[in-house]
C-alpha cells in the first residue's frame, strides 16, 4: 500500500479512506477494507472501508433526518454553499486532479480538464438553485387561483462510475443539493478517493452533517446497491453505468415507484460524409473516440465513412494515432493512459479478434502493451463488417472501427440499428443534410461537425436503452424536484 506521502498531495487531509455518515468519517462495522489499485502500475494505492447493508441503512436514515432542515434552507443559502464548494474545488485543483490520475489512470492534463468540468456543475447548479420558479395558471373559476410550486424530492441515492471519478459525482450531487435534496452516494470501488476528497471539501464548505453521506463498498456492492434502490425512505435514484445494471436497479426501484435518472451505455455512431472537412473530421474523431482512451459513454464506437473519402480519412486518422504516446498519466509526454482494469483490456481484444475474424483489416495497434498496468495500443480497424461485435456493443476502449457506407439513407439506418441512443456525431458541410441527419439520429445528443459536446449547460442524456432523464442544464435540477399544484379557493 502506498504511503500517504506517495499520493503527493499538497493537502494530505484530502486523502480519506473511510465512509462518511452523518458528518462522521467511519470504518466498516466489521472492519473490512477493499484495495484500490493504480491502473497504470497495477500497484495498490490504498485501502478503503468496505461498508455494508447496516451502514447503508444508517446513511439513508441520516440523509432523511438532515432533509428535514436542508430541505427548508433558502435557495440563496444553498447557492452560497455550492459556490463555496466550487471555489474549494478550484483551490485544490492540483490535488483533486492528481487523485483522478492516480486511481483512474487518465493523463494529468485530462484529469485537470475533468476537475474543471466537474466543478462547473457546482457553479451551474448554484445558479439554478435560485431559479426553481413556480407558476400560476389561469383559472376556469373566478373564486379559484391555481399555483404551482417546486419542492425537493427528498433523499436521493447516487451511484456513479469510475470513468469520471469527479464529474459524475458533481453532475448529480450539485443538482440534488441545489434542489434541497440530501444524498447517499456509492462511489465506484475502482475510484473512491476522488469522491472522498470532494466530501471533505463539501464539509469544509459548510454543507451540514447528514446532507451528504458516502458508502464506499466493494464486497457488499449487490446488497448496498439494492438497499439504495429499495429503501422506501429514498425518493429518487440517479445512476450512471451499464444498461444491464440500470435495468436491475430499475427493478429494485419499481417496488416503491421511485423517480429515476439513468445514464447508461452508448454505442455512438460517428459519420463522415463525403462533403465533410476531412481534416476537421479526423480531429473530431480523435477527440471523440480516444477521449480517456475510449472510456466514456459518449465516445464514438462505430465510425462510418462514406466510400469516396474512406481512404483519405483512414490514412489521416492512422497518422494522428501513430503520434499518440501511451503511458503513465504523470508522464508529461503521455497523451493516453491505461484502461481501468484487465477486464476492459480483454473486452477490447475480443472486439478486435471478432472483427478481424470477420474480415476487418488491422491498420494500427491491436494488442495489449507489455509491462505493468492495463495498457492497450490505440487501434484502428478498417473494412469492419456491419455485424461485427464492435458495431453492436460498446467497446469502451481505444478501438476505432471504420465501416464503409454509400448513401445517407443507408448510414442513418445503420446508425439507428441499435437498442441504445446516447450520443451521435457526424461531419457534413451541407446545411440541408446537417438538419436531416441531426433530426434522424435516434440519440439524446448530437454533435454536428464536432466530436466534443460535454458541458454543464447542456441536457446530457439518452433515448432508448441509454437512459431516462437529463443531467446538467436547466433540465437537470428538475429531476430532483416535485411539482406541487395548490388550488387557492374560496376567493
Ligand atoms: C460518461 O462517460 O458517462 C460521461 C461523459 C461526459 O460527461 O462527457
Does the pLDDT value for residue 2 go beyond 90? no
* Closest approach atom of ligand 1 to CA 167: 7
Report the percentage of the chain scoring pLDDT > 70.
99
Quote the pLDDT of residue 3.
64
**Cβ(120) to ligand 1 under 6 A?**
no
* Closest approach atom of ligand 1 to CA 460: 7
Give the Cα separation of 383 and 363 in Å (integer).
10
**Cβ(118) to ligand 1 under 6 A?**
no
Phi, psi dihedral angles at 169 (to 5 degrees): -75, -55
CA of 157 to the centre of ligand 1 (A): 19
Quickly state the pLDDT bin for 5 (edges 50, 70, 90).
low
Does the pLDDT value for residue 452 go beyond 80? yes
**Cβ(163) to ligand 1 under 6 A?**
yes
* Closest approach atom of ligand 1 to CA 117: 7
**Structure confidence by residue, pLDDT tens digits, 267-302:** 999 999 999 999 999 999 999 999 999 999 999 999
CA of 400 to the centre of ligand 1 (A): 18
Give the Cα separation of 427 and 437 in Å (integer).
10
- Per-residue cell: 255: 417496488
Quickly state the pLDDT bin for 26 (edges 50, 70, 90).
very high
Does the pLDDT value for residue 399 go beyond 90? yes
Does the pLDDT value for residue 433 go beyond 80? yes
Average pLDDT over residues 451-471: 98
Give the Cα separation of 25 and 196 in Å (integer).
10
Average pLDDT over residues 167-173: 98
Query: Average pLDDT of the chain?
Result: 97
Does the pLDDT value for residue 1 go beyond 60? no
CA of 424 to the centre of ligand 1 (A): 13
Does the pLDDT value for residue 457 go beyond 80? yes
Does the pLDDT value for residue 338 go beyond 70? yes
**Beta-bridge partners for 269:** 302
Are 337 and 328 contacting, i.e. CB atoms less than 8 angstroms apart? yes
Quote the pLDDT of residue 402.
98
Which residue out of 113, 163, 288, 425 has the highest number of ligand 1 atoms within 8 Å of its CB and is therefore the one to mutate? 163
**Structure confidence by residue, pLDDT tens digits, 58-73:** 999 999 999 999 999 9
* Closest approach atom of ligand 1 to CA 296: 2
CA of 240 to the centre of ligand 1 (A): 9
Sheet containing strand 234-240, edge to edge, reads 24-26, 19-21, 212-214, 182-186, 155-159, 234-240, 259-263, 467-468
- Per-residue cell: 305: 465513412
Are 231 and 60 contacting, i.e. CB atoms less than 8 angstroms apart? yes
Are 32 and 219 contacting, i.e. CB atoms less than 8 angstroms apart? yes
Helix (H) or strand (E) holding 270: strand 268-272
Give the Cα separation of 350 and 182 in Å (integer).
42
- Per-residue cell: 388: 461485427
**Cβ(297) to ligand 1 under 6 A?**
yes
**Structure confidence by residue, pLDDT tens digits, 232-249:** 999 999 999 999 999 999
Which residue out of 162, 166, 299, 454 has the highest number of ligand 1 atoms within 8 Å of its CB and is therefore the one to mutate? 454
Does the pLDDT value for residue 113 go beyond 70? yes
Query: Which residue has the least CA distance to atom 6 on ligand 1?
Result: 454
**Cβ(104) to ligand 1 under 6 A?**
no
Rg (CA), the chain: 23
Rounded to an integer, what is the distance from CA 129 to the centroid of its chain?
Answer: 22
Phi, psi dihedral angles at 10 (to 5 degrees): -70, -35
* Closest approach atom of ligand 1 to CA 240: 3
Please report, for residues 122, 157, 165, 242, 448, the alpha-carbon distance to residue 177 in angstroms, rounded to integers and kept in the order given.
9, 12, 18, 25, 33
Is 263 an annotated catalytic residue?
yes
Does the pLDDT value for residue 459 go beyond 70? yes
**Cβ(454) to ligand 1 under 6 A?**
yes
pTM (two decimals):
0.97
Amino acid at each position: 500500500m502506498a504511503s500517504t506521502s506517495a499520493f503527493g498531495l499538497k493537502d494530505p487531509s484530502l486523502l480519506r479512506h473511510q465512509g462518511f455518515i452523518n458528518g462522521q468519517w467511519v470504518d466498516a462495522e466489521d472492519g473490512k477494507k477493499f484495495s484500490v489499485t493504480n491502473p497504470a502500475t497495477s500497484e495498490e494505492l490504498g485501502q478503503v472501508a468496505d461498508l455494508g447493508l447496516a451502514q447503508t441503512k444508517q446513511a439513508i436514515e441520516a440523509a432523511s433526518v438532515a432533509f428535514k432542515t436542508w430541505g427548508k434552507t433558502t435557495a440563496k443559502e444553498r447557492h452560497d454553499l455550492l459556490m463555496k464548494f466550487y471555489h474549494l474545488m478550484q483551490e485544490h485543483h492540483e490535488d483533486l486532479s492528481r487523485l483522478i490520475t492516480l486511481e483512474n489512470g487518465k493523463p494529468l492534463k485530462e484529469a485537470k480538464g475533468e476537475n474543471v468540468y466537474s466543478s462547473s456543475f457546482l457553479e451551474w447548479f448554484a445558479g439554478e438553485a435560485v431559479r426553481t420558479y413556480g407558476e400560476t395558471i389561469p383559472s376556469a373559476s373566478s373564486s379559484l387561483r391555481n399555483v404551482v410550486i417546486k419542492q425537493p424530492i427528498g433523499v436521493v441515492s447516487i451511484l456513479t462510475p469510475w470513468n469520471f471519478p469527479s464529474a459524475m459525482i458533481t453532475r448529480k450531487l450539485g443538482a440534488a443539493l441545489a434542489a434541497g435534496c440530501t444524498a447517499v452516494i456509492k462511489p465506484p470501488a475502482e475510484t473512491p478517493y476522488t469522491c472522498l476528497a470532494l466530501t471533505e471539501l463539501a464539509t469544509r464548505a459548510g454543507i451540514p452533517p447528514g446532507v451528504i453521506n458516502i458508502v464506499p463498498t466493494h464486497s457488499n456492492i449487490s446488497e448496498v446497491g439494492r438497499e439504495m434502490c429499495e429503501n422506501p425512505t429514498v425518493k429518487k435514484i440517479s445512476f450512471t453505468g451499464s444498461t444491464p445494471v440500470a435495468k436491475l436497479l430499475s427493478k429494485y426501484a419499481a417496488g416503491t415507484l421511485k423517480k429515476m435518472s439513468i445514464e447508461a451505455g452508448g454505442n455512438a455512431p460517428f459519420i463522415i460524409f463525403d462533403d465533410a472537412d476531412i481534416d476537421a473530421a479526423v480531429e473530431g474523431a480523435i477527440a471523440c473516440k480516444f477521449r480517456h482512451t475510449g472510456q466514456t459513454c459518449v465516445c464514438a464506437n462505430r465510425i462510418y465513412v462514406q466510400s469516396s473519402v474512406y481512404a483519405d480519412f483512414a490514412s489521416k486518422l492512422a497518422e494522428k494515432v501513430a503520434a499518440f504516446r501511451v503511458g503513465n498519466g504523470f508522464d508529461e509526454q503521455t497523451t493516453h493512459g491505461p484502461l481501468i482494469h484487465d477486464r476492459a483490456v480483454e473486452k477490447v481484444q475480443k472486439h478486435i479478434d471478432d472483427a478481424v475474424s470477420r474480415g476487418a483489416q488491422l491498420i494500427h495497434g491491436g494488442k495489449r502493451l507489455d509491462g505493468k498496468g492495463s495498457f492497450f495500443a490505440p487501434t484502428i480497424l478498417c473494412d469492419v463488417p456491419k455485424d461485427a461485435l464492435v458495431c453492436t456493443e460498446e467497446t469502451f476502449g481505444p478501438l476505432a472501427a471504420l465501416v464503409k457506407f454509400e448513401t445517407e439513407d443507408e448510414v442513418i439506418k445503420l446508425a439507428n440499428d441499435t437498442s441504445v441512443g446516447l450520443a451521435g456525431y457526424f461531419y457534413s458541410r451541407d446545411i440541408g443534410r446537417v438538419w436531416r441527419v441531426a433530426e434522424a439520429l435516434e440519440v439524446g445528443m448530437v454533435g454536428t461537425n464536432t466530436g466534443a459536446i460535454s458541458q454543464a449547460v447542456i441536457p446530457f442524456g439518452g433515448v432508448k436503452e441509454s437512459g431516462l432523464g437529463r443531467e446538467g442544464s436547466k433540465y437537470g435540477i428538475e429531476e430532483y424536484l416535485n411539482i406541487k399544484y395548490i388550488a387557492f379557493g374560496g376567493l
